[in-house]
Structures are given as structure tokens and as C-alpha cells.
Structure 1
């Protein structure tokens, strides 16, 4: 005779058949529904079934990553959500938008460390955008030339500070022409670029004046801008110097670790962003800071278009070497 527990087990098995299996087979997949909404929002489509499934899997992984990154945060900490990169696997994101081997080619052309007094004060807030000397946010696409964008953007701002006039200068000229182990869309380094521009006395042309010739470097003889001086240093543990340079000189070009930025949508990054110099993979421009905020932060201009982050900008916590922001820092002046 069957025991009482056997009847209970049988009942539960039948209940599972009626209530759970039909939902799994006939009900909509919540994640796939989210994915369909995501494709609509970001104007994407994948007609090939295999590609669609691969993108769906990447999307699922992004959802899991977003949930993890949004844990252990305050109201003003960084927020993570769906972005135009959320249908990429992490390795695809690195391959398409970062430069994984940047740390292996950090420049040996750093200038000597500058002597500064140990204690000094800086304004509570600096934002060079307020002075109308920062050009519009650019989009590097899948070209790995963040190093060129960061330097050219900083040159643009330093020139605008001097002339009170903003102009776009040619990133493409740098991509085509820069030597010293810089390889166009295949990667480069901000410090080695600045060293090369200095010892070649390179003239950076305005964007409208640079014309490629046979898809190669064609510097021409038009009037442009030249570097006057630059420094490139590590300020790990000395971020007060970075703040002073931002306040007294102008924006900075820095190497950074952007691995966890794939799904960044706003707020101040103060967790989940490794500062190890061996993990640097991107370059950006810092255009200011805010020490009066509940979490003091740098204002970081990215080159992934104005539809990423906060109008193309991110905020990174000050004085923590967050994302490796203090490992390779460049400041410059122009003639």
C-alpha cells in the first residue's frame, strides 16, 4: 500500500506539470521581452538567428552585471543600466572600444617629476565647460584612437583658454601621422604622442583644414597649433596635484581603466573600478572637479558620443585612484 508521503509527492509532481511547465513553454520569456524592448530603444536589429541568440546571451550577462554593480552603493554612487553597449560580451566591448594592452606600452618619455609644496588649497569646484572652452563630445566608434582624442581635446581647450575661441582640431591627422609606437586605430599612448609632437615640432591642423592623401598622412602647410610644454606623470597618492593642475592650468589627458563602464548611466564611480596600472585600457579628458559634492568627483569627458553616460561625461571619485585615473596624467600648454 502506498504511504501517505507517496501520495503527497505524486500530488506535487502533478501540480508542477500543471502550473510550472505550461508557463515555461507557453509564457513569454521576460529577459527576451526586455531584449526586444532594448533593440527598439537603441534602434538595433539582428536578422541572423545565430547572431540574435549570441546578442541575447550577451544581454543576459549585462543584466546580471548591472545588478551586481548596483549593489553596495549610495544614492549618489554610480548607477548602471542598459546602454548601447549592453548587447556586447565583455571581451567584445574591450576589443571594440578599449585597448587591452595599453599598460604594456606606457611611454618611457615621461618628464621629470615636478616639485610642489606639500600643502596648498584649491577652489572647491572647477568646470572648464562653464568657461566655454570645451568642444563638443566626440564619438570614436570602433576606432581605438582614444589616446588621440584625449590629447587633441586637451589641446583644443588649452588653445581656447589662450584665444577665447573654441575650434575643432584634427584627430584624424594624429591617427594618420603620429609615430613613436602609436598605431592609429590600433592603439597608442597619450604620453608617447605628446613626446612625439614635441620632438617633431608637429603642427596640429584644424579639423576643417586637414585632408588625407591616399588614406595616408598629409600634414600640409596650413596654420595650426603646436605644443609649448607638457608633463606626463603618475600622481598616485598625490591627486592634490591633479586638482591644482586642473584649477591653475587646465584640463588633463589621462589613461584609465574603463572595463566596468560598459553599462554606466550616471552618478559617481566610487566602487567596482580597479586602479591597477596594469589594467589601463582607455584614455579620456578630465575637464574639472567638484570637491563640494557628497562624493567629491572628477568630471570626465569620454569619446563614446553624447548618448553615453551623462551627455558623454562620467564622474569619478577623487583621491582614490579610482579606475586608475592617477597612473598616467598629462598636462600641457600650447604656443
Structure 2
């Protein structure tokens, strides 16, 4: 009898412990699910995400959760120099992400960059140099879901150098370049040197006011329209692919266009100095280098992007200098006006 009572008490204790463990495990799953729901809901609300069906929402959420896991893992690493964050790209598949890039290397561009690049002699350079606040530097624009990064990179430089020459700033229209430049492929890609060649032959480029940008929302190249040109271009120059030559050009002439490979880590950039060893050797995105600096002994480029001011550090990214990260130092050029 005494033995039976002891056994009964023991069974009750075991049942309570197991029940408590199951409840805690279930609560943990609920909390984890609740956390995922919270982040997903915040993401869809912040970026105005609307989906056509429950199936599409499930697909998008699956992509989002993979990116969330990847970003959290990256941000926990003690050996990285930069942080990542969730942004508007977090629910896009690989094909859709390509719509936001668009640099296409064709013809003799690779040979031209090596053959004609200006190599600067060593001279005393400032430790930090930053053109972001220059009155001739245009505001950050957003190319949207059109592979027109090349047009934004090219036009930003024409904005700057025409302003520097005339003393008056005119915001030139990327849409004019996307629609009318027969050397490139509109929303299907292009390159800034070919774009400058077209502007030179066209005797100028129309302003944003007279030829506003809309391909970012339509994802298609528009029909070429006539307009009165504002900014001009007389050609372009390559810069030799080494950091000293690029720094010399930045400090003596001005900002430059550059191309790199933009992968998922680049697209999720938040703050810090971007350094990446897993890039493809093929460039797919055009940007601008507008300065350089050093932080805690680590040199970096100040790089202007065309994904809106919400992306990265108010539309900019710091990229480690001197290591040719993702080929950022290979295809440096600027327009002449």
C-alpha cells in the first residue's frame, strides 16, 4: 500500500513536470511565431506591401524570413565591419532584385579602362574628402524597378560638372537618357560611358522638369520624346584603377562614376564600412564615388547610390578602399563638359 502511494505521487510529479515542459515549449513556439509576425507586419506596413493572394503572401514571407535570418546572423558576427538591415528588397526574389541594378559591360570597355586610364602621380592628399554637401551634388534619387542605374550614375555626374562649370544647378532627366539613348538598353541595362557618348552626340540632355522620370514605377523603357536640352557633355575620361589615382581625381577634379557587383549583402547595407569577399567578378550595378575617408585606421570610399535616401546611410554606402571590393575600383570614369 505504502509502495503504491509513493508510486502514485511520483507519477503525478512526473506528469506535472512534463506538462510544464510541454507548455513552456509551446509558449516558446508561440513567442517565436509572434516575434516573426511582428517583424513581418512592421515590414509590410512600413513599405506599403500589398499582395494579390494568400499564396503570394506566403511566398513573399518565406523570402523575407530567409533574409531576416541571414541579416541577424551577419549582425551577430564580431568580425564584420558593417551592419545590415531589412529594407524594401527583403521580400523580392533574385529576378526582381536585378531590376534595381543594370550595369552592362559591353564592347571594349574593359580594355579602354586599362589602356586610357589617367594615372596620377603621388602627391600629398587630405586624409578625408567629402563632396556630399557640395551645392553641385544632386539629391539622392531612386531608379525604382528599372535597370537604369547606369543612367543615374551618368546623369548625377553631368549634374555636378555642368553646375561646376556654370555656377548654376540644373537637375537633368534620367528618363530622357533611358528612352532616347540608342547605345544602351533602357531598363534592361547600360553603362555610363556609353551614356555620355550619347549626350555628346545629342548635344545635351533634357532637364527632369521637362522630361520627368517614370520608368521606376512602370519597369519599362518609354518612347523617346523631343525636348529642349539643358546640360551638355563633350566626352569622358577614364581613371587608372588604383586608389591613389582615384583620390587624386576626386580632390582635383570631382566625383566619378564606378561599377561593382551588388549582391544581397550590398542590398541590405545599413551602416559601417562595407567589405565583401564573396562577390562575383562580373559587375552589375553603377554608382558614384564622391569622397573618401578613414575610420579607426580603415580606409573607405564614400559611394552614392540610386535607390532612394531610405537605403543605406541616407542613400550612401561606405566601401573599404584599396581592396577593390566587388571591383569598385576597376571602371572609374567622369564626363567632361
Q: TM-score range by the shorter chain?
A: 0.7 to 0.9
Runs of at least 5 residues in structure 1 that lack an aligned partner in the other structure:
1-6
The CA deviation at 1:269 is: 0.5
Please give the secondary structure, in 1, of the residue aligned with 2:312. Answer: coil
Bigger shift: 120-129 or 48-57? Answer: 120-129
1:242-321 superposed matches below 5 A: 242-259=246-263, 260-272=265-277, 274=279, 276-278=280-282, 280-291=283-294, 294-321=297-324
Please give the secondary structure, in 1, of the residue aligned with 2:306. Answer: coil
The CA deviation at 1:73 is: 4.8
Match 2:163 to one of 160, 164, 174: 160
Bigger shift: 291-300 or 168-177? Answer: 291-300
Match 1:187 to one of 175, 179, 189: 189
The CA deviation at 1:62 is: 0.8
**Contact 1:32–1:56 under 8 Å retained in 2:** no
Kindly tell me the number of residue pairs found equivalent between the two proteins.
316
Q: Deviations over 1:58-111 (max 9, x none)?
A: 111111221333254569x2210111211223x145333123x83566736836
Partner of 1:79: 83
Runs of at least 5 residues in structure 2 that lack an aligned partner in the other structure:
1-10, 214-220
Question: Could you say if the C-alpha distance between residues 47 and 119 of structure 1 is closer, same or farther in structure 2, counting changes exceeding 3 Å?
Answer: same
Rg (Cα) greater in structure: 2
1-structure distance, mates of 2:27, 2:301: 52
Partner of 1:124: 127
The CA deviation at 1:234 is: 5.8
Partner of 1:3: none
1-structure distance, mates of 2:229, 2:181: 18
Q: Deviations over 1:116-155 (max 9, x none)?
A: 3552232222222333111111111101100001000001
1:1-335 superposed matches below 5 A: 17-21=22-26, 24=29, 28-46=33-51, 48-73=53-78, 77-89=81-93, 91-99=94-102, 102-103=104-105, 107=109, 110=112, 112-114=115-117, 116=119, 118-180=121-183, 182-198=184-200, 200-210=201-211, 215-220=222-227, 222-232=228-238, 235=241, 238-259=242-263, 260-272=265-277, 274=279, 276-278=280-282, 280-291=283-294, 294-334=297-337
2-structure distance, mates of 1:303, 1:26: 38
Please give the secondary structure, in 2, of the residue aligned with 1:288. Answer: strand
Question: Could you say if the C-alpha distance between residues 26 and 327 of structure 1 is closer, same or farther in structure 2, counting changes exceeding 3 Å?
Answer: closer
RMSD of aligned alpha carbons:
3.1
1-structure distance, mates of 2:108, 2:146: 19
2-structure distance, mates of 1:217, 1:177: 5
1-structure distance, mates of 2:163, 2:210: 18
1-structure distance, mates of 2:52, 2:229: 49
Q: Deviations over 1:4-46 (max 9, x none)?
A: xxx9xx9797776554357547984432332122223333343
**Contact 1:107–1:189 under 8 Å retained in 2:** no
2-structure distance, mates of 1:64, 1:195: 44
1-structure distance, mates of 2:175, 2:320: 32
The CA deviation at 1:203 is: 1.3
Give the structure-1-normalised TM-score.
Answer: 0.82
The CA deviation at 1:273 is: 5.6
